[in-house]
C-alpha cells in the first residue's frame, strides 16, 4: 500500500469588493450561538443547549502600501470579502458578506513590514 501525497492550501488571496489586497493573515471565527442551559435537577448537571444567532468575525492583518492604495478600513461597512487558495487548483472560496469594521490598529516592528490590524464582523458566510 503506497502513501499518497496530498496537497494542502498554503497561501490565500483576499479581495475586498473585488479588489485584491496584500495580507499577512486572515483569521475568521464562527461562533455558533449555541449555549448550555443549566437547570436544577437530580442529575446535578446541564441537560441541554439552546440555539442562538451565529456570529462571524474576521481578524485581518493587511500590509500598509506606500502608494496609498489600501481601502478605507476605518469606514468600511457592508463590504464583501472573499478568501481563496492562491494555488489555483481545488480548494473552496470563503465569502464573507456584509463586513463592517469594528477596530483598526497598526503595528510597526524592527525587521518586519508595517501592518494594519483590522477586526470586523460579517453578517453571513458562504463556502463555494
CA dihedral 109, 110, 115, 117 (to 10 degrees): -10
- CATH number, domain containing residue 108: 2.40.30
Query: Does 4 map to a domain?
Result: no
Distance CA(125)–CA(97), nearest Å, equals 6
Query: Does 97 map to a domain?
Result: yes
Host domain of residue 27: 12-127
Query: Does 7 map to a domain?
Result: no
Q: What pLDDT, on a 0 to 100 scale, did the predictor assign at position 112?
A: 84
Distance CA(97)–CA(91), nearest Å, equals 19
In this predicted model, what pLDDT tens digit does every residue of 56-106 receive, in sequence order? 999 999 999 999 889 999 999 999 999 988 876 677 889 999 999 999 999
Query: pTM for the whole thing?
Result: 0.82
Query: Does 100 map to a domain?
Result: yes
Q: Which residue has the cell 524592527?
A: 110
Amino acid at each position: 500500500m503506497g502513501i499518497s501525497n496530498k496537497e494542502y492550501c498554503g497561501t490565500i488571496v483576499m479581495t475586498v469588493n473585488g479588489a485584491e489586497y496584500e495580507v499577512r493573515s486572515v483569521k475568521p471565527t464562527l461562533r455558533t450561538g449555541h449555549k448550555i442551559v443549566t437547570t436544577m435537577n437530580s442529575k446535578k448537571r446541564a441537560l441541554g443547549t439552546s440555539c442562538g444567532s451565529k456570529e462571524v468575525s474576521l481578524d485581518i492583518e493587511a500590509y500598509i502600501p506606500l502608494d496609498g492604495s489600501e481601502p478605507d478600513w476605518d469606514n468600511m461597512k457592508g463590504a464583501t470579502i472573499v478568501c481563496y487558495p492562491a494555488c489555483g487548483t481545488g480548494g473552496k472560496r470563503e465569502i464573507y458578506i456584509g463586513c463592517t469594521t469594528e477596530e483598526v490598529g497598526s503595528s510597526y516592528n524592527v525587521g518586519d513590514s508595517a501592518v494594519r490590524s483590522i477586526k470586523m464582523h460579517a453578517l453571513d458566510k458562504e463556502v463555494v
